[in-house]
Amino acid sequence: MRAQAILAALTLVIAACGTASETATTAESEPTTTIRPDTTTSAGATTTSAAATTTSAAVEATTSTPSPSGAHFVLTSVSLGDGGMIVITNVGDATGNLAGHFLCQRPAYFAIPDVEVPPGQFVAISTGGTVFQPPPDAITIDQVATIGTLRPGDGEVGLYDSGNFGASTDILSYVEWGSSGHGRSSVAVKAGIWSDGFVQTADDSVSISANTLPAIEAAHWDVG
């Protein structure tokens, strides 16, 4: 009887150990299952990164402004008073000629002579001031643009690709300062190359220079 009791006790101990072993095995398998969501999350992060890259490319494409096809001329600087000068830049992607183009400060006009202008190159034209200081590397024109004095306190300059000064289809670039409503401002506004406003200058201002291209509103010009 005593031997049977000992055998029964041993059987219970073995059974208990087997149950504990199964429980431990089950507990150890649970962390393995828990790791799987972490792997999914990592893949999700990779997808998010790819989306961010796509967004960045879209923003870059939206904000970058490619050069216009062919030659395209715009006003980029106007020196006022004694240093009267106008700077025109070819912002297009091809060489162009300024022959047939006109500068205007109504009621005065000036036919720009034959001059080849490569892409990115600029041309400096004196308006008859006592000082003519063209920017370094600028193409200069010997003739004086007879469009009157560029007064620091008030004026306008328009650039046309023909002598049809009342046509909004023929004006390429425009700026007015000191006040609004100059002779050709309505033509420029209709053409969509100028907003209804003016660059604020003073009697001692010496220049206005474009800080944005195309410079189609007063905020796109800095006063010097």
Dist. CA 178–CA 200, nearest whole Å: 5
Quote the pLDDT of residue 69. 86
Dist. CA 190–CA 177, nearest whole Å: 18
Q: Give residue for tokens 């395209």.
A: 72
**pLDDT of residue 99 exceeding 90:** yes
Tokens representing 204 are 């001692």
Span 35-62, average pLDDT:
30
List pLDDT tens digits, range 130-139: 989 999 999 9
3 exposure class (CB count in 10 Å sphere: 0-12, 13-18, 19+): exposed
In this prediction the pTM is 0.71
Dist. CA 74–CA 89, nearest whole Å: 6
Span 48-68, average pLDDT:
36
Quote the pLDDT of residue 38. 33
133, 83 Cβ separation under 8 angstroms: yes
Report residue 124's pLDDT band, with 50, 70 and 90 as the boundaries.
very high
Residue type, 75: L
Lowest-confidence segment of 61-75, 86-100, 115-129 by average pLDDT: 61-75
Q: Which long-range CB contacts under 8 A does 166-170 form with residues at least 24 apart? A: none
Closest of 125, 114, 116 to residue 90, by C-alpha: 116
List pLDDT tens digits, range 168-192: 999 999 999 999 999 999 999 999 9
List pLDDT tens digits, range 23-40: 333 333 333 333 333 333
Span 144-156, average pLDDT:
97
Dist. CA 75–CA 177, nearest whole Å: 14
Report residue 2's pLDDT band, with 50, 70 and 90 as the boundaries.
very low
Quote the pLDDT of residue 29. 35
Dist. CA 147–CA 206, nearest whole Å: 18
Q: Where are the domains of the chain?
A: 1-64, 73-223
